Amino acid sequence: MKYGILASVCLGASLAMAFTIAANAQTSGAIVFNGMKNDGAFNELGFDGSKRAKDELGVTIRERVADNEAETTEALRVFAKNGVEHLLTLGFANTEAVKTVAAEYPDAKFTIIDGYIPDMPNVRSVLFAEHQSGFIAGYAAGLKSKTGKVGAIGGVDIPPVRKFMCGFAAGAAHANPDITVVADYVSDTPAGFRDLEGGMKLAEGMTADSVDVIFAPAGRAAEGAAKAAEKAGAYAIMVDANQNGFIPGTVLTTALKRVDEAAFATWKAAQDGTWEPGVFTMTAAENGVDWAVDEHNKSAVSDIEAQVNAVKAALASGEITVAPAAGVDGCAEVL
């Protein structure tokens, strides 16, 4: 396991010191990452939002990186036992760990971003309208595809990824009703999000089958997919944090999920006393989801930018609604 602190702390501090929580107003809580912190995507956004809270609000936030559910459970339990009032986790994979420790420590407050825990009085779930973000990405892909065949590679078949994939299929069909969407997943375990080779192999198979735009809500496996797309002269679409600069010219855009905003809002609520349990969803209307246009992809999307922005506005206003569903093949449609 890897340990650290967002405030200034000696890297050589002992494990016991890492879990000693100072009893002062500046100590607001702790964040537990799953797998790796600097993933260039989901976890890094959570770190960025927490760091912003430290810099702008003056809060102190301890952190720990856990490699599996047992380690996440242990980390949460130790923090809660040591009096940390607010605990933040990132990702669906941490759902059971949060449920377990929240039941053990009812006076502690737990926030899980991208995990669904609806009925616990000390748990706040922050979700995203991934189907809207995926729809925007799919619409862009449908407009740019020359072969009429686009692909979607998910890291693991879990609800947030499935919503991305469903939205992508619907968005692509909105741009081109005759389009074909090919979809697959890297793995059935969270390791799929770190499997660059697995992402590359799936993408190579798709490009060999005439797919010319690949959407990859797949963590770091998306990097492998993008490299395969580059080799084949296809486009890739990344997710979560803006990754347009990963391979300029190949990355068409990034389907943004503002985990950083959700993390910052969590710590702000913890500090000002407005934190409440329940389920909250960030949509296009709150800029919780979006697509990225910058110097890295401006030329690639200049011919479709106005159309895609119009679709985003229609999603935000409710003029277009997208239904997430259980599968990928025909799983979402414009209602």
Q: What is the CATH number of the domain that holds 243?
A: 3.40.50.2300
Segment 159-173, tens digit of pLDDT: 889 899 999 999 999
Q: What is the C-alpha to C-alpha distance for residues 193 and 196, in angstroms, rounded to an integer?
A: 8
23 in the same domain as 123? yes
312 in the same domain as 197? yes
Count of structural domains, the chain: 2
Bridge partners, residue 278, by sequence: 124
Residue 40 resides in a domain = yes
How far is residue 148 from each of residues 36, 164, 179, measured CA to CA in Å? 36, 20, 5
Closest-CA residue to 238 (of 39, 22, 82): 39
pLDDT at residue 312, rounded to an integer: 97
pLDDT at residue 158, rounded to an integer: 85
The pLDDT mean for the chain works out to: 89
138 in the same domain as 43? no
Of all residues in the chain, the percent with pLDDT exceeding 70 is 88
51 in the same domain as 98? yes
Q: Is 208 left (phi over 0), alpha (psi -120 to 50) or beta?
A: alpha
Q: In this structure, are residues 98 and 112 in contact, taking their beta carbons and an 8 Å threshold? A: yes
Which domain does 36 fall in, by range? 2-129+259-286
- Strand pairing report for 278-282 and 123-128: parallel
Q: What is the C-alpha to C-alpha distance for residues 307 and 294, in angstroms, rounded to an integer?
A: 16
Segment 223-255, tens digit of pLDDT: 999 999 999 999 999 998 899 999 999 999 999
Residue 276 resides in a domain = yes
Closest-CA residue to 134 (of 238, 24, 270): 238
pTM: 0.79
